[in-house]
Every structure is written in structure tokens, then in C-alpha cells.
Amino acid sequence: MSTPVTGAGTAPVPVVLAGARGHGRWHLANLRRLADAGRVTLAGVCELTPLTDEESAGFTGVAQSADLGALLDTTGARVAIVCTPIPTHTDLALIAAERGVHLLLEKPPAPSYGEYRRMADGVAAAGIACQIGFQSLGSHAVPHIRALVRDGLIGEPLGIGAAGAWARDEAYYRRAPWAGRRRFDDGSDVLDGVLTNPLAHAVATALALDGATGADDLTDIRTELFRANAIEADDTSYVELGTRHGSRITVAATLCAERPDEPYVVVHGSRGRITFWYKQDRVLVQRAGHGPEETVHGRTDLLENLLDHLATDGATPLLVTPATTGAFMRVVEAIRRAPDPLALPAEAWSALPGDRDGTVRRVVHGIDGLVAASADTLTGYTGLGAFWARQGLEAAS
């Protein structure tokens, strides 16, 4: 069984970070902030190649090892952050759980619903606290928007549409052996697609705004998966979801945008709409008979929330438990089971210079407008008339 961390304001909590490069650098910076505030100490870093002195600047006495279990045993860490490749999430989470170490597990929690269930069941059996790293769900705008909808501010809810138009160059898919893969050669799942990893927050945030977060909350999942890049996974995709209380949720996303912009979620109502730019915690309310109203909200850091949960013996609830990512994992599973993404024809995209010297990125013609139109109309690429989507549908039928 796990040992609770009690006594808010007492000794800093020792933390081990598994995966300190890539997105792990964000966690490293956050740990510096919390260490300066006296809330944590960085007890260890689990990396295949140890961090350099420059990378670990600001920390002293940090143990390093490629063996997470040994590192947890020797450091006495009470919390582990797992920010490693997607296929390793479940095994590493269970290594921490077996030692009674509480967990912040990066999204997506697993590459398949089966692996997610194995992780969630193991965490529950160990009795540890586990937070899943959907940072957008720490935004105070989420409960604010749900309250506005519940109070009838925009009338009868008509559906939720999310839009994500980002750009990634071809080097992005060469950053790691698992990047842009659906599965490894041995058949094990990776699922590094636009909806399951880089823009997974768009899916999870739309589900949270609807209140459809549990594994049994979805009744229907329909996907349109495409790729402009020479990868296995999808980089330009659409998913449409039906929920058990009758809602319709759509997400259109791409990593091949012409002009990358902030992703957002739109809640449609019979008398107005609410737009939420979830990375900025910014909310715009537009409704009949009123001028536009924009607000910016605070955000609770998920590691701080986990620390507060432990310090109060659970009185402070976790914001993103494994159970509240069940619907998201149903989407991941539907994408895993779907036919492989269709390659877009050469006339659908162009290669442009990337942001870094010598890099190239592929841009899908007109995709920015299609993504925005999808969120506005709750319609997929096929329904919006994209020629490459129609051709793909005909080829698959």
C-alpha cells in the first residue's frame, strides 16, 4: 500500500522524473519552480543518457539512472512523473505503483484501451494517487464554461466542435524511433497521431466540457484519418463522437497548417456559443442580444494539485484521474482499430521551408479553413467537400 504524504507546508516531497528531455524539459522547469517554493525536491532523473550539468542546472544531488525501479528504491521518492514514449507508460506507471509511489502520468496514458485498463487497474490495486497529464483540464475555465451552459446562458446545447491547426516539420517525425508510428515492427502499439498525442488536449477538453469523460459515456465514434507526411500515423484527422446523453462532439486537427494558430473548442447553443482557447485559458461568450464577453481564467498546475491531494489526505480531489480519461481512451482505441490513415494525393499538399534552417514542412492546401469550418458546423472533411477526403472514402469503399 502507498504511504500518504501529509502535512502541508512541511518537508518538500521527493520526486523522480522519468523522461527529462523533449516535453520532459517542461516538467524539469516546473520542478525548478516548485523546488524554489519549497514544495518538492528533485531526487532523481530516469534517462537512458544522463543529463548534462547544463540540463540539470539549478538542482544538486540528483541521482540518475536508466532503471526507474532502482531509482525509486534508492531515492525514497514519493512521487514519480512519467514523461516517456507512449508505449512505455503502462509498464513504468506500474513500476511506480508497485512501490507505493504516487504518479503524474503524461498523456496519452496508454497506446491502447487494454494497456490503459492494465495501468488503471494496477494503480487502483496499489492504492496510489494517479494524475493524468492533461494540463488543459486544470484550467478554471472548464468548470466556468460548464456552469454557463448548465445555467442556460447560450440556450439549449447543440454540440461541441474542436479545432486544432498546428504545424510540424519533417524533422519532428525523426526525433525518436516511435515518432509518427502507429505500431512497432513487433506489432506493439504506439499511436503517435495528431488526435492521440500532439492535439490530444483538444479531444480531452471537448469531452470534459460535455461531461462525457468516463469509459461508458460514448455511444458512437467515427473517424477520418489522413496523412500528408511520409509516416504511419495520422497528421490530418477528424473524429465525431456521440455520447450517452445525446451530445455530438467533433474534433478536426492537423499538423499541416498553412498558418498555425491556437487550438480551441466551441460549445454551440440555440442562443449563442462559447469559444475556449484552452492553451490560453481564454473564453469568449457570444449570444443573441448581447455584446461579446471575453474572460481569462487561472489554471491549477496538475503536479501542485497532486501534491495538495497528498498533503490533505485526499481532501483535495485530483483533477484528472485515470477514470476521467476513459472516454478519451475509447477514442484512442477507435483510432487504433481504424484502417491505417490514407495518404493524401500529391496535389493536396505542398512542401514549404520549416521554422529551422534546412527543414521542410508539408502543408495541406486549405486545411486551416476546413478545420475552422468543422468546428463551426460539426462536420468532417468528407462532409465539407475536401476532394482528398472524398477520394479516400471512395477508395476505401
pLDDT, position 16: 98
Residue with the three cell numbers 503524474 = 104
Residues of the chain with CATH 3.40.50.720: 13-128
- Closest by Cα among 97, 104, 131, 130 to 15: 104
The alpha carbon dihedral of 382, 383, 387, 390 has a sign of positive
C-alpha cell at 347: 496535389
What does the pLDDT profile of the chain (397 residues) look like in tens digits? 334 444 445 799 999 999 999 999 999 999 999 999 999 999 999 999 999 999 999 999 999 999 999 999 999 999 999 999 999 999 999 999 999 999 999 999 999 999 999 999 999 999 999 999 999 999 999 999 999 999 999 999 999 999 999 999 999 999 999 999 999 999 999 999 999 999 999 999 999 999 999 999 999 999 999 999 999 999 999 999 999 989 999 999 999 999 999 999 999 999 999 999 999 999 999 999 999 999 999 999 999 999 999 999 999 999 999 999 999 999 999 999 999 999 999 999 999 998 777 889 999 999 999 999 999 999 999 999 999 998 866 666 5
> What are the residue ranges of CATH 3.30.360.10 in the chain?
139-299+353-396
Q: Is the peptide bond before 345 cis (omega within 30 degrees of 0)?
A: no
The DSSP symbol for 38 reads T
Give the pLDDT confidence score for residue 358 in this predicted structure: 80
Locate cell 490530418: which residue? 236
Q: Which CATH class is domain 139-299+353-396?
A: alpha beta
**Total residues found in the chain within this entry:** 397
Fold of 13-128: Rossmann fold (3.40.50)
CA dihedral 292, 298, 303, 307 (to 10 degrees): -140
pLDDT value for 395: 66
Task: State the Cα–Cα distance between residues 60 and 336, nearest whole angstrom.
Answer: 42
Q: What is the pLDDT of residue 6?
A: 41
Give the H/E segment covering residue 251: strand 248-254
Residues 6+ apart with CB under 8 A from 2: 100, 101, 102, 126, 127, 128, 129
Burial of 229 (0-12, 13-18, 19+ CB in 10 A): buried
